[in-house]
Chains A and B, each alone.
Chain A
Amino acid sequence: MAGKPKLHYTCGRGKMESIRWLLAAAGVEFEEQFIETKEDLEKLRNDGFLLFQQVPMVEMDGMKLVQTRAILNYIAAKYNLYGKDLKERAQIDMYVEGTTDLMGMIMMFPFQPAEGKEKQLALIKERATTRYFPVYEKVLKGHGQDYLVGNNFSLADVHLLEAILMVEELIPDGLSQFPVLQGFKARISNIPTIKKFLQPGSQRKWPTDEKLVAQVKQIFNI
């Protein structure tokens, strides 16, 4: 069954957003089935669709893929966004793990109790500007190429752009010390498939608001 990939998740960013980005970057159209209630999740579980009872889940190529990293790796490899050999793949993996850690902090931020938010925001800013962004700034400056790895567009570039935009939503001047990343951001945003994804009407999801936080807590019993 050739069909389009079908994504199962809530109608929000969460762990599925990186997958939406990657499919969009690869120019792959996809469908979405949104989990809106606890019953929706229970049905997926009872039907045996979720290997570890968790989402994200992506139906593609006859598989019900779960676990974000597994899904991203599969899509990246399938659409030639995973480097040309094992060493490039290792580079990409390292960079993506870094942006995953950073975006993980941002993902949890809306779920923080109000009194912890200021401290968490300061930590996000500190990590972004002293641990993560300097690394990518240095890598790009070091080789002077347009893309992070192997002079070719890859998952690492998509993931970094996603991370940059997420940080900037919380910390608007997040890139102020990183001129090379500013250039990277402009360049990657202009790639046609990505440009399209960044426009209104695409399947890109909004930043998580209180309403979604409440819905997620309800569905997943948090």
Chain B
Amino acid sequence: MSGKPKLTYFNGRGRMESVRWMLAAAGTEFEEAFLETKEQYQKLIKDGALLFDQVPLVEMDGMKLVQTKAILSYIAGKYNLYGKNLKERAQIDMYVEGKSDLMGMVLTYPFSPPEEKEKKLALINERATTRYFPVYEKALKQHGKDFLVGNCLSWADVHLLEAILMIEELKPNVLSQFPQLQGFKARISNIPNIKKFLQPGSQRKPPPDDAYIATVLEVLKSD
């Protein structure tokens, strides 16, 4: 038992990617076990490792943590990425929840049938540019500080950078109307731990491809 957190998930982004980002931002090394077959998954369930029979699973500090939000909240709390008081935490929670809604759309996009993809992409772009990005643009403009909440790096900043980069992969000019966010993106990307995570060879996963989609569908398919 190395003491490092151990992540169990598919060898791809999905819901675990936000956890990888957070651990990387916190400068915490982690191990990964990749789910490749249905049998592996069934074994995890049978061994009682998955509280609700679902992944992501993160084993850390003697716990088998499941449910992405619970995992991220724990990491944020442990590594001081959750604000300094209850009100800051509420701010961070609100910002993170907003981005999660947006990222949820991006997460399911590769699994959409081809005929729906164009429509979904348009919706992602619309939501990003009219509902979500304007909020963060305004927040940064208003307080003029480097970070979203409390002038300190938090979960909200890490999550926003992740969201920006994911949407840019689908819509390269999505930040064109958001100068504050462009500055934010450059700034947060330059934080040493994050810069390292953004370099080739890190544990950051590539965008989902056909092989990834096929693996997920195969592993999770019901009998």
Q: Residues on A close to B: CB < 8 A? A: 51-53, 61, 63, 65-71, 73-74, 77-78, 86-87, 89-91, 93-94, 97-98, 101, 131-132, 135
Is B63 positioned at the interface, with any CB of A under 8 Å from its CB?
yes
> Is the CB–CB distance between A67 and B94 below 8 Å?
yes
User: Is B90 within 8 A of A69, CB to CB?
Assistant: no
Cα(A53)–Cα(B131), bound, Å:
7
Q: Are B51 and A94 in touch, CB under 8 angstroms? A: yes
The segment out of B25-33, B73-81, B185-193, B213-221 that lies at the interface is B73-81
Interface residues of B in 80-133 (CB under 8 A from A): 86-87, 89-90, 93-94, 96-98, 101, 131-132
- Report B's interface with A, CB cutoff 8 A: 51-53, 61, 63, 65-67, 69-71, 73-74, 77-78, 86-87, 89-90, 93-94, 96-98, 101, 131-132, 135
Are A98 and B135 in contact, CB atoms less than 8 angstroms apart? no
Least CB separation from B69: chain A residue: A97
Complexed CA–CA distance, A85 and B215 (Å): 38
Q: In the bound complex, what is the Cα–Cα distance between A91 and B73 (angstroms)?
A: 11
The 9 A-B residue pairs whose C-beta atoms are closest, nearest first, are: A70-B93, A93-B70, A67-B97, A97-B67, A90-B74, A74-B90, A94-B70, A70-B94, A86-B77
Q: CB-nearest residue of chain B relative to A48? A: B138
Chain A nearest CB, measured from B97 CB (Å): 4
Picked from B52, B97, B132, the residue with its CB within 8 Å of the CB of A98 is: B52
Would A86 and B78 count as touching, CB distance under 8 A? yes
Residue pairs across A and B with Cβ atoms less than 8 A apart, 19 shown, are A52-B132, A69-B93, A69-B97, A70-B90, A70-B97, A77-B89, A78-B86, A86-B77, A87-B61, A89-B77, A93-B70, A93-B74, A94-B65, A94-B66, A98-B51, A98-B67, A131-B52, A131-B53, A135-B52
Inter-chain contact A77/B52, CB cutoff 8 Å: no
Across-interface contacts of B71 in A (CB, < 8 A): 90
Q: Closest Cβ of chain A: how far from B193's Cβ, in Å?
A: 21
A179 to chain B, nearest CB (A): 21
Q: Are B65 and A67 in contact (CB under 8 A)?
A: no
Total residue contacts A-B, CB cutoff 8 A? 79
Residues on B with beta carbons closer than 8 Å to the beta carbon of A63:
87, 90
Contact, CB under 8 Å: B70 / A52: no
Please name all residues of chain A whose beta carbon is closer than 8 Å to the beta carbon of B61 when the two chains form the complex: 87
**Contact at B131–A52, with CB atoms within 8 Å?**
yes
- Closest-CB distance, A171 to chain B (whole angstroms): 19
User: Which has the most chain A C-beta neighbours within 10 Å: B67, B98, B132?
Assistant: B67
* Inter-chain contacts of B98 with A (CB < 8 A): 51-52, 67
Q: Which A residues lie within 8 Å of B87 (CB)?
A: 61, 63
Q: Which of B66, B70, B73, B135 has a CB less than 8 Å from the CB of A51?
A: B135
C-alpha spacing A91/B93, complex, angstroms: 18
Name the A residues within 8 Å of B65 (CB-CB). Answer: 90, 94
Query: A68 CA to B66 CA in the complex, in Å?
Result: 20
B contact residues around A94 at 8 Å (CB): 51, 65-67, 70
- In this complex, the member of B51, B65, B87 whose beta carbon has the largest number of chain A beta carbons within 10 angstroms is B51
A115–B18 CA distance with the chains assembled, in angstroms: 37
B-chain residues with CB within 8 Å of residue A65 when the two chains form the complex: 90, 94
List the B residue with the shortest CB-CB distance to A70.
Answer: B93
Quote the shortest CB–CB distance from A100 to chain B (angstroms). Answer: 9
Cβ-defined contact, A87 with B94, below 8 A:
no
